[in-house]
Structure 1
């Protein structure tokens, strides 16, 4: 039985390939278009893409051109080729700014970039492109039912950028005074992250890194700067505890405060 099933499968594949090759050689754009739609509906996106690409030139300037362009973008999405899909969606937005798929196309431009957004440790060009595209979507379609989803994805993307800054701030802190005052760099990175991503989910971590860094600067300062920097540390302690009175670093922060007060009193 298995032998007959294997033979049947091979025959089916051969017939399918033969049919596809025949369609490719055809000069009938209508046949190619209909078969492309058929392949698309069967999720055979590679064959669909090839055929849609071939008929795109024939239908350029006609009503069907809009459909073909939309199918091409969706076919590349089906292949998980998000970069190419985004290019086709952008072409659609530019060519058919009032087209019947315009809301979907604008959303998908951002979503393609979102799917291409890598780990926070890597280059975040795609993340920035996704944020820009989603913000454009909100500007053009503020009443769309996709708005809640777009806002959710924007929060996720912003948090990724914030996390990248958190990793950088921690790196500077861990470097300490190696080849320069890296504590100051940690403070600057963390403060900028709080300004640029005010609603990020790492606010407490940034605030505590600022406190730690200012404390270490004070501890390792020359005598003529110690008092001033410990006072700055005390101010930073209250910034941290006012926002996070039950913060997870509260015990460590209290120790920093106690040591800073002793130094200032002495």
Structure 2
């Protein structure tokens, strides 16, 4: 009886194995089209998964390039800007002479720009935005996005200047006049297009007063008054000067 049961189970297993259907192998073209359908439905991460199958299949160089571009675009639209930037960077490294270079540089710059933090935070993304967009203008000076890109660069340079002013303010508050002066004077030299110098002039004047350089202090406060006659810092500057004269 036991022998009969074992024989029956073995027969059933063999029968099952004989009729089991393996899943059909999908082509790279299938996964590419699947990614397109998911992308149109704004299922960006699912679309990325499909296009990664295309990329990893190495079906053809042309299809791989399209898949890489689609992956980066999906990350960007999903607001996954770190992943988008990494994918665009990888594309430029792997395809330095691609006809898609201008578009890739633009969206790489935008991926960094979307990561820019307030002036009191880390400014790595701000630096990366400037470097990328300057490279775009250098390689493609006739780009139709020139004015837009220049505006982004201007914004980011102002953000970097604001960051340096905040560092200078910290040094003034901690009585580190030399460090404050070095930072703040560098802003004047390195960022001539910096548009909000109100606090900078005031802090620079305070730093020079800490150094007992009254001439430089008065010069800084005069710049404050001349450029920002309604500034809230003027009253503070007058009070500081009255303590030294």
TM-score (norm 1): 0.74
Aligned pair partner of 1:208 in 180, 202, 221? 202
CA deviations 1:189-231 (Å, max 9, x no partner) are 111112222211232221221112212332xxxxxxxxxx223
1:25 Cα shift?
Answer: 6.8
1:121-142, Cα deviation, whole Å (9 max, x unpaired): 2222222111111110110111
Corresponding position: 1:93 with 2:92 = yes
Partners of 1:141 and 1:193 in 2: how far apart? 29
> What is the CA–CA distance in structure 1 between the aligned matches of 2:171 and 2:24, rounded to whole Å?
62
- C-alpha distance in structure 2 between counterparts of 1:161 and 1:90, whole Å: 23
Cα separation, 1, equivalents of 2:216 and 2:64: 65
The Cα of 1:239 is off from its aligned counterpart by: 4.7
- Alignment of 1:141 with 2:140, yes or no, is yes
Residues 1:246 and 2:229 aligned together = yes
Supply the distance in 2 between the matched residues of 1:210 and 1:202 (Cα, whole angstroms): 14
Shift of 1:91: 2.9
Gaps of 5+ in 2: 1-22
Backbone CA RMSD of aligned residues: 2.5
1:156 aligns to 2:155 (yes or no): yes
Larger radius of gyration: 2
1:222-261 to structure 2, matched below 5 A, reads 229-241=213-225, 244=227, 246=229, 248=231, 249-253=233-237
How many residues are treated as equivalent by the alignment?
222
Taking structure 2 as the reference length, the TM-score comes to 0.79
**Cα distance change on mapping 1:252 and 1:120 into 2, 3 Å:** closer
Distance 1:129 1:25 in 2: 45
Find the counterpart in structure 2 of residue 165 from structure 1. Answer: 164
Tell me which residue corresponds to 1:10. none
Residue 55 of structure 1 corresponds to which residue in structure 2? 54
CA distance in 2, matches of 1:122, 1:255: 31
1:237·1:257 contact (CA, 8 Å) conserved in 2?
no
